[in-house]
Each structure stands twice: as C-alpha cells, then as structure tokens.
C-alpha cells in the first residue's frame, strides 16, 4: 500500500472518530447540533466536514451506526451464549443500564432525529427478534410461562426500556439506580418465570 494512501486512510479514520466523540459530547451537553458547530469543535473546516458527510442527516446516521455496532455485536454475543435464558435477560437489563449510564441522553436525542419506521425497524432487528429466540428457549426449557413469544419479547423490551425513558420526565431524580434496576428484574421474574406462576 502506498504511504499517501495509508496516511489518508488514517486521517479519514481520525476525523470520523473525532466527529463521533464530538457529537456525543454535544448531545451530553444538550447543545444544538449544526454542521458549523460540529466542524468547529472537531477543529476542521465546514468544507472538510462536508467532504465526509453530505448533510447533517448523513453525519447523524454515521454516528448512530458507530454507536449501534458495539451494541449489536454485544447483543449477538449475549443472545448466542450457552447460558440459561433468564441469565441472558438479566445481562440484557444490565447492558441497557450500562449504556444509559454512559450515554444518558443519546437515545432520547436520536429518536427525535429519526422516523418512527426507522426506529421500529431497528428495535425489531436489534432487540425484539433476538428476545423472541430467548423467550422460545425459556419456554422450551420449561422455565418461562407459555405464551406467544413475540408478546413476551415486546413486554420484556417495554418493561426494561420504558422505565429508562421515564428517567428524564420524573419530578424527582432516581436516588438509587440499583434499586430501580432490581425492580425491573423483579417485574420480569414475576411476569415470565413459571415458578412465579405457581406461587400466584
């Protein structure tokens, strides 16, 4: 490979990494996102930024892909593990909390930038359909109550992400996030575990 080509590839990668970091910082600071502001904070000209991204939508799509790739990769690894279905769900809850802790405003921001169809497609492919497989595993092993696995998967998704979305709308902030997480896990246990069904 020619040295100028390697240098250009390295510069391209560094600029794109800086764009992702900058956009995430601006979201975290609740700053308005414009191409001018992103370019300025990245230390490049607006023209340079437009060499990489034809508009703000393309820039945000790139940032979102950069954010979603590790989540998707982690979900694929988690849901493919040879562990019991409930352990997969507990780890899923933990991962959602960890992501929210690191990027508290990200999904609220990105949802405001995307169409409902885009958000639904991503939710289905990234989370609901893998959860359907976990639900089927749990039913096949006799650990989960028998019901439509798509209903169960959607309920699990809502039970985990719904409370997380409520954090920004509460009158008073959550003081004990671990207790909050335990409440969600307790709700999942009571809703889907067969042993809970017997004790009702």
Lookup result for tokens 């930038």: 113
Cα separation, 3 vs 133, in Å, equals 47
One pLDDT digit (tens) per residue for the chain, 200 residues: 456 688 888 888 888 999 999 998 998 888 888 999 999 999 999 999 999 999 998 998 888 888 888 778 888 888 888 999 999 999 999 988 888 888 777 777 777 777 778 878 888 988 899 999 999 999 999 999 999 999 999 999 999 988 887 877 788 888 888 999 999 999 999 999 987 544 43
Q: How far apart are CA 25 and CA 45, in angstroms?
A: 19
Segment holding 184, helix H or strand E: helix 177-192
pTM: 0.76
Give the chain's radius of gyration (CA, Å).
Answer: 20
Evaluate whether 185 touches 90 at the Cβ level (below 8 Å): yes
**Which stretches of 44-115 are DSSP H helices?**
46-52, 56-80, 85-102, 106-113
């Amino acid at each position: 490979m020619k040295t100028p080509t390697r240098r250009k590839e390295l510069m391209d990668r560094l600029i794109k990494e800086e764009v992702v970091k900058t956009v995430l910082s601006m979201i975290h600071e609740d700053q308005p996102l414009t191409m001018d502001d992103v370019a300025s904070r990245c230390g490049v000209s607006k023209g340079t930024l437009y060499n990489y991204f034809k508009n703000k939508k393309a820039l945000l799509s790139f940032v979102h892909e950069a954010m979603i790739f590790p989540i998707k990769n982690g979900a694929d690894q988690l849901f493919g593990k040879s562990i019991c279905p409930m352990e997969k769900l507990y780890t899923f809850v933990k991962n959602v909390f960890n992501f929210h802790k690191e990027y508290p405003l990200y999904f609220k921001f990105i949802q405001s930038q995307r169409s409902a169809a885009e958000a639904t497609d991503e939710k289905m492919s990234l989370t609901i359909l893998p959860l359907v497989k976990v639900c089927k595993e749990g039913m096949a092993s006799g650990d989960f109550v028998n019901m439509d696995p798509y209903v169960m998967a959607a309920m699990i998704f809502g039970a985990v992400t719904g409370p997380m979305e409520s954090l920004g709308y509460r009158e008073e902030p959550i003081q004990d996030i671990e207790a909050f997480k335990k409440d969600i896990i307790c709700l999942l246990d009571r809703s889907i575990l067969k042993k809970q069904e017997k004790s009702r």
